[in-house]
Chains A and B, each alone.
Chain A
Amino acid sequence: MSHHIVEVCDLRYCYPDGTEALSGVNFCIHHGESVAVVGANGAGKSTLLLHLNGCLAPTVGRVRIGDNPLTPATLQQVRRTVGMVFQDPDDQLFLPTVYDDVAFGPLNLSLPLEEVDTRVRHALNTVNCEHLSSRPPYRLSGGEKRSVAIASVLAMRPDILVLDEPTSNLDPRARRKLINLLQGFKHTKIIASHDLDMVMDICDRTIILHKGKVLADGATRQIFTDDALLEQAHLERPLSLNHHGQIRVL
């Protein structure tokens, strides 16, 4: 598992009602890369992410995480490697206290209790939420919930972080804090988002999905200055990029 490669080959997925959400997606992500997956609503971003740790099984095609192809036999191993942060933190935080929630993953890995405790404290410390540890998750603010949801994944010590719309519903300061936090992580990161300015800050590489296919895959700066391409994918040039492709200085 030294390379943490995420490889997706000819991935197709049909929902049970017959809608084809992904129709042949190919890409390969290497160790330490930060990659954004952007695209219009319904382009298949979330569906794609759900394939990366086996929440959904492809109709056709295959997914490879590190040295293992994703199969039922390698599922547990893959889920330890790929940490997934869902869009709605309420889905992810289901236990009575923040501490219990962050400890849920490590306890399921059957780690000794002291190790679980160390990991929980470390994960909460990383996202600056130690003071919340005995609070019930439903009493937290949106930003706090998001941070705790990330901590709950960090406590599993994954090599690859997958985040679905991490900055949605956050106020500007909470968003900025989150961006700083993500920038500090050494993990391989795969981020689906509509927040293209955040993508500019965090991801060097961007994949545009359009109607279940990869429309473009390349350097973020290059893609976000290609207005025709953005238009086709129902996107807009981020505010921080002016028409010469330079970061605007205010």
Chain B
Amino acid sequence: MSKIDSSLFEIGFLDQLATKDTPLHLIDPRIKLITTLCFIITVVSYNHYDFAALVPLILYPLILSAAGQLPGPYLRRKILIASPFAILVGMFNPLFDQQTMLQIGTISISGGWISFASILLRFVLTVSAALILVASTGFASVCMALSRLGMPKVFSTQLLFLYRYIFVLTDEAQRMMRARSLRAFNKRGTGIKVYNSMLGQLLLRTMDRAQRIHRAMLCRGFTGDIRLNKELKIRTFDLVFFAGWLAFFIMVRSSNLPQAVGQLVLRITT
């Protein structure tokens, strides 16, 4: 259980990072959100055999994390935690797609391996971009940006609450687990049956809590939307930030930079 505890602590750490005061943190949340979306769309728009062409996009997370003074080891660890999903998605590509695509000396590389590598690279790019967005903006501001950009209030409110109560819920789950393990001897009492009723119990408690929270909200005049006392303002710098990155994405997407650089090197050396 200490694992859940510490990984939750690490989620909380994202919030702490969001309170820093770097130029990246000061950019309007909406601008950062849209830029991140553009980046993700650019990354996923590539053909599944593209690998080298994607490489220049690594600059985006690298530059942003440096500008936002976000700790690299922490971000890497977070990416690593999510990596099993991506590995599972691409794992069978090398098995099914064995057609040789690339020949380096005597080693031939199949299409499957290339697409696998491409999936992993895309995964690293998109997840790091999302992490950087949250770490430099804060979850609440991301939710607010989403609703300002037209996301239905129901969803943004849900998202906000999910984030707020995940800590309370895991706390409750943890207490139940502890209570069970203290009275479970020789693995008796740890079976699926007990697990089922614990899950049910957790659901009921959650519903009870939801009702109490709703009451507390009604008592303070809640009528359907959460208003936050913050004003967002887009500055010229924010627009420059967005336009600059957009130009970069378009440039990388429309020309194969690594190939061009390679050809240039070849032309110079020969």
Tell me, rounded to whole Å, the shortest Cβ–Cβ distance linking A155 to chain B. Answer: 9
- Is the CB–CB distance between B215 and A50 below 8 Å? yes
B226-A104 in contact (CB<8A): yes
Interface hits, A180-226 → B, CB 8 Å: none
Contact B219 A96 (CB under 8 A): no
Q: Given A79-B218, A96-B138, A116-B229, check contact A86 B212 (CB 8 Å).
A: yes
Q: Are A138 and B168 in contact (CB under 8 A)?
A: yes
Q: Is B239 an interface residue (CB 8 A)?
A: no
Known: A86-B212, A99-B229, A136-B15. A94 touches B220 (CB 8 A): no
Whether B217 contacts A53 by the Cβ 8 Å rule is no
Specify the chain A residue showing the minimal Cβ separation from B220: A105
Q: Which A residues from 53 to 105 make CB contacts under 8 A with B?
A: 53, 55, 76, 79-80, 83-84, 86, 88, 90-92, 94-97, 99-100, 103-105
Q: Is A141 an interface residue (CB 8 A)?
A: no
Q: Identify the stretch in A1-9, A25-33, A107-115, A122-130 within 8 Å (CB) of chain B at 4 or more residues.
A: A107-115
Determine if A108 and B12 form an interchain contact, defined as CB atoms under 8 angstroms apart.
Answer: no
Known: A107-B229, A108-B223. A138 touches B167 (CB 8 A): yes
Task: Name the prevailing secondary structure of the B interface residues.
Answer: helix
- B73 vs chain A, min Cβ distance (A): 23
B41 contacts A by Cβ under 8 Å: no
- In the complex, are the beta carbons of B220 and A156 less than 8 A apart? yes
Alpha-carbon distance A44/B252, docked complex (angstroms): 68
Chain B CB within 10 Å — which of A96, A116, A139 has the most?
A: A96
- Among B161, B213, B217, B221, which residue has the most Cβ atoms of chain A within 10 A? B221
Give the total number of A-B pairs whose CB atoms are below 8 A apart: 83
Contact B229 A113 (CB under 8 A): yes
CA of A138 to CA of B221 in the docked complex: distance in angstroms? 22
Give the docked Cα–Cα distance between A79 and B223 (Å): 13
Taking the complex as formed, is A48 at the interface, i.e. its CB lies under 8 A from any CB of chain B?
no
Contact digits for B148-184, partner A, Cβ 8 Å, 1 yes 0 no: 0000000000001101110110000000000000000
B140 to chain A, nearest CB (A): 3
Least CB distance, A53 to chain B, in whole angstroms: 6
B216 proximal to A (CB < 8 A) = yes
Distance in angstroms from B90 CB to nearest chain A CB is 36
Given contact pairs A55-B219, A90-B209, enumerate 18 new A-B contacts (beta carbons under 8 Å).
A55-B218, A79-B221, A88-B212, A91-B209, A91-B212, A94-B161, A95-B160, A95-B164, A96-B138, A97-B140, A100-B140, A100-B228, A103-B229, A104-B220, A107-B227, A108-B221, A136-B15, A153-B220
List, sorted by A's number, 19 A–B pairs whose CB atoms are closer than 8 Å: A55-B219, A79-B219, A83-B219, A86-B215, A86-B216, A91-B212, A91-B213, A94-B213, A95-B140, A95-B160, A96-B163, A105-B221, A108-B220, A108-B222, A108-B227, A109-B221, A117-B229, A134-B19, A136-B15
